[in-house]
Structure 1
Amino acid sequence: MRKYSYILFVACLLISVSASACEDGSGHYTLPVEEATIRTQGGKDHLFSVEIAATPEEQMQGLMNREKMPEDHGMLFLFPSERNISFWMKDTIMPLDILYIKADGVINHIHKNAVPLDETPLPSNGTILNVLEINGGMADKLGIQAGDTVYHGSFGNSLAP
C-alpha cells in the first residue's frame, strides 16, 4: 500500500511539473519552438521563432486569446498531408497574416491582416501542406509575398550555411 501511494504521488508530481512547464506566465500554454526562415524572391532572409502546432488539439487552440506576440514569432501548423484548407479568427484577438505554404516550402497564398474574432473562412486558394501565422502587417513590412520560400524541416528544405 505504501509503495502504491508513493508511485501515485510521484506520478501526480510529474504531471503537475510538466503542465506548469508549458505555461508562459500569462496563463497561455506554449508549444515547442523551432526556427523557420522566409527567403524572399529578392534574396532577403527573415528568421522567425515559431511554435509548432502538430496535433489537432494544438491546431484548434492556435493563437486564440493571445493579446500579442513578438514581431519575429509565429505559429507553424503542421499537417500530415497536402490539402485545401480554410482558417478563421474565432477567439483570436490580434490581427494575423496567414501564410499558406506548399509542400516544397513555397508560399502559395497570404491572407493579410486577418480581422480579429472574425469567423469568416479564409481559404488557402490551393493545395498546401502547412500554414504559418505571423503578426498582422508583417508580410507587408518585410516584403513577404506569394512565391517566397519558407525553410523549415517540415518542408525537407534547408538553407546552405
Structure 2
Amino acid sequence: MKRLPLVSLLLLVAGCAAAAPRASAPAVELHGHRFSTEFATDDASRERGLMMRTDLAADHSMLFVFPDSEPRWFWMKNTLIPLDILYFDDGRKLVSMQLDVPPCKADPCPSYPSDAPARYVLELPAGTARRIGVQAGDELTVEGDIGTVH
C-alpha cells in the first residue's frame, strides 16, 4: 500500500479547513450600510469605550450593549475624536441621536443624553449618520455574538 506524501496530506487538511464555515467578525448594519464593530458589554468596556483613540475608521463602530433599557447619557472624557452617538431601544429601533459630538477639552465634560430609554448605543465617526441618511425609527442589525451582557 502506498502512503500519501506529507505534502498531499497537508494540502488535504488545508482544503478541509478552508471549506469549514468561519465566524464572521462582529458588524452592524444601519440604513443599508455595514460597519465593523467592537462590542462593549460589561461595565469596564462600556466605561472605557473609545477613550484615548486618535482615529476611528469610516467603516468602524463601537456598540454599547446594556442589560436593560433606560435613559442613557454619554460623555466624551478622554475621547479624542468627534463622534455620532445613536441610541436604540430594546427592539433596536433608533430613538435618539447626538450628532457631531466634539471631544471634551474642559473638565467637567458635558453629557449627551438620549431622548428616550435605550438599550443599545452605537458610536460612529462624526458626520456618518448624516452622510448615510439615518432617521429615527431605523433598525440596527447586529452580526456576531454579543455574549453575556452585564
TM tier, shorter chain? Answer: 0.7 to 0.9
Task: Say which structure is richer in helix.
Answer: 1
Supply the AA of the counterpart residue of 2:57.
P
1:58 to 17, 40, 45: 45
Segments of structure 2 that go 5 or more residues without pairing to the other structure are 1-24, 145-150
Structure-2 residue corresponding to 1:81: 68
Structure-2 residue corresponding to 1:117: 104
Q: Deviations over 1:12-65 (max 9, x none)?
A: xxxxxxxxxxxxxxxxxxxxx5111113xxxxx100111000110001100011
Matched position secondary structure for 1:152: strand
Give 4+ residue runs of structure 1 displaced > 4 Å after superposition. Answer: none
What value does the CA root-mean-square deviation take over the aligned residues? Answer: 1.4
Structure-2 residue corresponding to 1:136: 126
Q: Which has the higher contact order (CA 8 A, sep 6+)?
A: 2
Segments of structure 1 that go 5 or more residues without pairing to the other structure are 1-32, 40-44, 155-161
Structure-2 residue corresponding to 1:38: 30
> Which of structures 1 and 2 has the bigger CA Rg?
2
Q: 1:103 to 1:78 in 2, by over 3 A?
A: same
The number of aligned residues is 117
Structure-1 residue corresponding to 2:57: 70
How much does 1:153 deviate?
Answer: 5.8
Percent identity at matched positions? 34
Residue 93 in structure 1 maps to residue 80 in structure 2: yes
- How far apart, CA to CA, are the structure 2 residues paired with 1:69 and 1:114? 14
Structure-2 residue corresponding to 1:21: none
